[in-house]
Amino acid sequence: MNIHIFFFSLTVLFISPIKNLCNLLYAVSSNLDVLWKQLPTLFCNFLYKDEDVRPFPNKLMRPKSEEELLMERTKGYWRNAALNTIADKLRQRMNFNTAKNVIFFLGDGMSVPTITATRVYMGGEEKSLAFETFPYTGLSKTYCVDHQTADSACSATAYLTGVKANLGTIGVTAAVNLKNCTAMNQRENQLDSIAKLFQLQGRRTGLVTTTRVTHATPAGLYAHTADRHWETDTDVSTLNGDVTDCEDIAHQLVFGKTGQQLNVILGGGRRGFLPREVIDEQGNSGVRSDGLNLIEEWIKFRENHNQSYQYIWNRDQLLNIQNGTDYLLGLFQSSHMNYNKERNTETQPSLEEMTEAAIKVLDKQNSSGYFLLVEGGRIDMAHHYTWAHKALDETAEFSKAIQRAVEITNEENTLIVVTAGQLIDIKLIYLKGNN
């Protein structure tokens, strides 16, 4: 079906602006295999340059004071900088406290070159992202059991459950092959995530993402699936699954034991919660074929259990969450949330705003703590389409969210971990000293 649309798009090449065509191609190809996904990228990069890919401001034009520029020419400046770094390190004390709260930040596709380029994007080589001043750093090996290069699904399984899995599978062991429902439904193949462990201890749990909340990374917290693309029942039947046997990811989020207990769910993907016949708050229709309205089901569950809850869909509502809210479902877009560069800042919240709201709901007085997953999910997606500017801007937004979390939590009882899941190499030519 997708291939059809692809060729149909080719026929409109000469009547629609190339930009619209490319956007359509990107949208259509987003569910295809990696190989097919590259086609529109090659095609569009050849025909049209995304206007977002502008050169960065010239280094010499950076707002640096005359004083700073003069200092950089002296040896004392650099040696003092080094001495200060060493003194800071020596002052650091090991923190042996047990973390009550854990916030796990994941910048999907945030490779080392991406971080370097983002420093420049933020104003210069000497800038640091929020997490670069954290006291401990390490590197990890990422691979799937059956693939050298990890994808978001098997890597989410690894860092959220501690067990490696096969490519494209989530929350199940490597005994489950891609698309095998029988194996995915066997309890012994299903893995408990760190959110589940927190819930078993009566602690709060939540997720925040800029992708659909049913996308691979967030799904790692609550789903057990043999195919990351089975986000809705319609996806299951289109992608060779048996709808009577393979529970889709959105359904697991609302009816699954772990999904049901999540206190905070913030991100995109509203269409996966609504039937085809239902038009959402922004005028988009749902995609479910089973007629279920999962937003209503989520609300029904809260009412049946006397829980205080809020369902929200825009930024205003997010910024005015009521104080006693214990369960918060926020779906801000039909599919993924927009890139920060393209979002309507009046109606769609930033990752930073979502992170702050999530912490507000999770961090209750006298509570025994919480686990929160925050994903900057579109760094990777921008890289896949070779949109360097957007990738760096998403990384800068991710850094802002981390900075905010550091400001409103206490290092004595809260552990903040920042990682990248798996890395996407950045395709960017950077000429030192110029642009």
Ligand X SMILES: *[C@@H]1O[C@H](CO)[C@@H](O)[C@H](O)[C@H]1NC(C)=O
Phi, psi of 273 (to 5 degrees): -105, -5
CA distances from 38 to 33, 143, 318 (A): 9, 22, 36
**Closer residue to ligand X, CB minimum distance, 5 or 175:** 175
Q: Which residues contact 126 (CB under 8 A, 6 or more apart)?
A: 119
- Residues forming the site for ligand X (CB under 6 A): 177, 180, 182-183, 305-306, 323, 365-366
CA atoms within 13 A on the CB side of 11: 6
- Least separation in angstroms between CB 267 and ligand X: 24
User: 215 a known binding residue?
Assistant: yes
For residues 157 and 172, the answer to whether their CB atoms sit within 8 Å is yes
Q: How far apart are CA 199 and CA 85, in angstroms?
A: 40
What are the beta bridge partners of residue 420?
none
Q: How far is the CB of 180 from ligand X (least distance, A)?
A: 4
11 marked as binding residue: no
Give the closest residue to 424 by CA, choosing from 374, 388, 393: 388
d(CA 142, CA 144): 7
Q: Are 117 and 111 in contact (CB under 8 A)?
A: no
Nearest to 380 by CA among 20, 107, 157: 107
Task: Work out the angle between the directed axes of helices 34-47 and 18-29 (0-180°, nearest 10).
Answer: 170
> Is there a binding annotation on residue 363?
no
Active site residue 152: yes
- Tell me whether strands 370-376 and 327-331 are parallel, antiparallel or unpaired: unpaired
The answer to whether the beta carbons of residues 326 and 262 sit under 8 Å apart is: no
> Is 229 assigned a ligand-binding role in the annotation?
no
Q: How far is the CB of 177 from ligand X (least distance, A)?
A: 5
Annotation-wise, does 375 bind a ligand?
A: yes
Residues 212, 330 contacting (CB under 8 angstroms): no
Of 5 and 178, which has the nearer Cβ to ligand X?
A: 178
Smallest gap from residue 303 Cβ to ligand X (A): 9
Burial class (CB in 10 A: 0-12, 13-18, 19+), 383: buried
Q: Which is nearer to ligand X, 99 or 175 (CB)?
A: 175
Minimum Å gap between C-beta 164 and ligand X is 18
**How many residues are listed for the chain in this entry?**
435
Measured CA distances, 77 to 63, 71, 131, 289, 434 (Å): 19, 6, 24, 65, 23
Q: Which is nearer to ligand X, 184 or 396 (CB)?
A: 184
CB of 358 to ligand X, least distance (A): 16
Q: Which residue lies nearer to ligand X by CB, 172 or 216?
A: 172
The catalytic residue among 9, 29, 111, 152 is: 152
Rank residues 133 and 306 by Cβ distance to ligand X and give the closer one. Answer: 306
Q: Is 108 annotated as a binding residue?
A: yes
User: What positions carry a catalytic annotation?
Assistant: 152
Residues at the binding site for Mg(2+) are 108, 215, 217, 375
Residues at the binding site are 108, 215, 217, 375, 380, 384
